[in-house]
Every structure is written in structure tokens, then in C-alpha cells.
Amino acid sequence: MLGSKNAGATLAVSDLQRARDFYENTIGLEPLQEDLGSILYRSGNSLLLVYPSEYAGTNQATAATWAVGDDLDAIVEDLRIVAVVVSSLIATQP
């Protein structure tokens, strides 16, 4: 189901501007996309999605993201069939 899909880290932050300064000016990442109040970075072959959340640092926020493309609906249905709760889909990319 997801074993052949790329995964990326998803980080909730309390201050998006402060996180932007850190990831761009300290770490040296360049933003690939900014959408829905989040910033997507590439680091080597990996992706890092940074988004603001009141749950940052509490482990009540998203922990991983998969790039599934057109397979999204089928994968969500497969997950629901095996009783995985999919509570929200933050964003999809073309």
C-alpha cells in the first residue's frame, strides 16, 4: 500500500516565521512550495513540511507524510477498511 511511496517528515511549529528563519538561514534549505500556511522544503531526496500548529511540541500533530499522487483515494479507502482513522488530509499537491 505505502511501501513503494516516498515519505517525508512533517513538523508542527509554534512560530512559522521563526522556523522559516532557522530552516532557510541556519540550515540552508530553500522552500519548494508555500501553500495553506505551510512551507515545503527539499533536503537531499527527502521532503520536509513545516506548518504552524497549536499542538507543536505536544506530539498531537502529524508525524509523517507520504507522496501518493493519484492513489490517494484508494489508499485512504484501504486504510479505512482495516480500521485506520483518517481524520484529515491537510493538503494535496498536483
Q: What is the pLDDT of residues 6-26, one digit of tens each?
A: 888 888 999 999 999 999 998
Q: What is the number of structural domains in the chain?
A: 1
Residue whose C-alpha is closest to residue 51's, from 91, 8, 13, 92: 13
In a domain, 86, yes or no: no
In a domain, 16, yes or no: yes
Q: What is the CATH number of the domain that holds 41?
A: 3.10.180.10
Domain extent, residue 24, equals 7-81
Average pLDDT, the chain: 84
pTM of the model: 0.66
Q: pLDDT tens digit string along 45-61?
A: 889 999 999 988 887 66
User: What does the pLDDT read at residue 61?
Assistant: 66
In a domain, 94, yes or no: no
Cα of first residue to Cα of last residue in the chain, in angstroms, is 20
Of the candidate ranges 13-27, 30-44, 61-75, 80-94, the one whose mean pLDDT is the lowest: 80-94
In a domain, 43, yes or no: yes
